[in-house]
Amino acid sequence: MSNLTISLIQTNLYWEDKAANLRMIEEKITAIQDKTEIIILPEMFTTGFSMRAKELAETMDGPAVEWMKRVAAEKKVILTGSMIIEEGGKYYNRLIWMLPNGQVGQYDKRHCFSLAGEDKYYTPGDKRLIASVKGWKVNLCICYDLRFPVWSRQTKTPDSTSPEFDLLIYVANWPDRRIHAWKTLLPARAIENQCYVAGVNRIGNDGNDIHHSGYSMVADPLGEVQQMEPGQEGILTITLDRNKLDQTRQQIPFWKDADPFLIL
């Protein structure tokens, strides 16, 4: 299997201004000159982490999803990030996995952040999304999910012949006041799952004057980190080494000794 190149966009967000965020992010995407295959945006990249779900939600055929479809096709990349979606009278913090051919995958945030009241406005998801690209299996998660390792764990059954996924992605609005947990748990998820982990976090103050410092990063299967400059807008494009992943799993096959379980 071949290597996989991903781009992490660490940026400030305009508070609850979808049009401004889409314009700004498209400029950043257009500026990426390096060849890349997946572009990862922060959590709620169209609005910031807002609880005004009813006022800000879109449907799956709304303008932001259509924007993702157009940009993914023009750039010939997979584009992913979360936004506020209304469906069946309920509101979801939904990660969109947009392929360049217009096919869409979706993941609804499992763990709603009760400390900010997210559980009062949004419905939690109950299904994981593990996507496939170039033979890589990609497990997609959102922010607070990072604190719950069982949800992000490689599931193992008695007849498992290989790990369930190769890359974990977390998109986030993770505040600076708890950034130590972010910086600790991302490499921990990589080590325990013997996979790559990419975490994309925003920077700047949101509409509630909560400060975000970014620290977006990629951790390899041994937990070694390449980290973006905190507090600075930027784009990190990095190629994930398939041989390194496979050799790590072969030479120290810890995943084979994991306890078998199923997420119901």
The one-character DSSP state at 14 is: -
Q: How far is CA 102 from CA 13, 130, 206, 218, in A?
A: 25, 18, 31, 27
CB atoms within 10 A of CB 114: 10
35 is catalytic: no
**Active-site residue, from 18, 37, 43, 195:** 43
The set of residues, in sequence order, having a beta carbon less than 8 Å from that of 194 and lying 6+ positions away, is: 154, 163, 221, 245, 248, 249, 254, 255
Do 205 and 189 contact (CB within 8 A), yes or no?
no
Euclidean distance between CA atoms 76 and 35, whole angstroms: 10
CA 27, 137, 148, 108 dihedral sign is positive
**Active-site residue, from 18, 69, 109, 183:** 109
Torsion of CA 90, 93, 99, 105, to 10 degrees: -50
58 is catalytic: no
**Active-site residue, from 58, 112, 118, 143:** 143
26 is catalytic: no
CA 9, 16, 115, 90 dihedral sign is negative
φ, ψ of residue 172 in degrees (nearest 5): -150, 160
- Among all residues, which ones are annotated catalytic? 43, 109, 143
